[in-house]
A and B are shown apart, each in its own frame.
Chain A
């Protein structure tokens, strides 16, 4: 009779004896059978966003006395020096651009992973 092996040796032999199961198209078969990801209809999202924007605009128009503040704002801006208007437009562009970059990073997994890299 053989001497009995110890637990550690047995566990090691068990791990070594477990064969690696080659994929051989298994992953592809699974992927082909996955159900389509449930997504909310895109038109519904667009309708909600446009509807809320119109509603908000309407409420703002009514509460501002028929948009008087817009006219006054434009008249005031017209009195500003041209260089100040350019700086204001450039600043607005920077802020909008920064928001666009942030949203793009959040929506793009590849870019998000690169952004998470630590050097």
Chain B
């Protein structure tokens, strides 16, 4: 019988069982690292450093996980906070960087070799839309869960998902054969 995330968390809490926490890391590392790679725009080294920080923080604060949300949702929230704090620490205000990055990466001038690449199209979206799309459309979070992860109103999440989807569709359609 495979243990649930809740069982493993209980083992960590009751028995200080680090092997149980290791199993939680193994289960969720791909999703957390994937999310952070999208947030950092495929900067793999930075994404992995942030993912490591995410799991260490999760371990230190596991007593604050009350089981009201899924464990993965709780992890995504920590990961997103790690990403935002890192961006601030580097004095890279996310909004400013995003504008600069997008100015340099016009979807119409993308390398033809990357066309049809959905993940590349995703990386061209602004951060707030990209994050909402990755959480809701790729990782299957509900809008409500995503609003908790990102700490923004539910309506804003819905708007970001809607706009992100539309932009993705337009980009993919524009890249398609004439």
Give chain A's interface residues, CB within 8 Å of chain B. 1-5, 7, 10-11, 13-15, 17-23, 26-27, 29-31, 33-35, 37, 39, 109, 113, 117
Segment at the A interface, from B52-60, B81-89, B90-98, B147-155: B52-60
B50 to chain A, nearest CB (A): 12
| Given known contacts A15-B137, A23-B29, A109-B17, A2 and B172 CB-to-CB distance under 8 angstroms | yes
Whether A117 contacts B176 by the Cβ 8 Å rule is no
Residues of A near B69 (CB, < 8 A) are none
Whether A27 contacts B7 by the Cβ 8 Å rule is no
User: In the complex, A4 Cα to B119 Cα: how many Å?
Assistant: 17
| Given known contacts A1-B178, A10-B168, A14-B133, A34 and B56 CB-to-CB distance under 8 angstroms | yes
Residues of B near A113 (CB, < 8 A) are 1, 3, 7
A20 to chain B, nearest CB (A): 5
Q: Which of B21, B165, B170 contacts A7 (CB 8 A)?
A: B165
Question: What are 7 residue pairs bridging A and B, where the CB atoms are less than 8 Å apart in the complex?
Answer: A1-B173, A1-B174, A2-B177, A5-B169, A14-B138, A27-B25, A109-B11
Q: Which of A7, A33, A37, A117 contacts B56 (CB 8 A)?
A: A33
Residue of B nearest to A7 (CB): B165
Whether B25 contacts A30 by the Cβ 8 Å rule is yes
User: In the complex, A7 Cα to B169 Cα: how many Å?
Assistant: 9
Whether A21 contacts B172 by the Cβ 8 Å rule is no
Whether A21 contacts B165 by the Cβ 8 Å rule is no
B51 to chain A, nearest CB (A): 7
The 5 closest A-B pairs by CB, nearest first: A2-B176, A37-B16, A21-B30, A2-B173, A17-B118
Whether B170 contacts A4 by the Cβ 8 Å rule is yes
| Given known contacts A2-B173, A33-B56, A23 and B26 CB-to-CB distance under 8 angstroms | yes
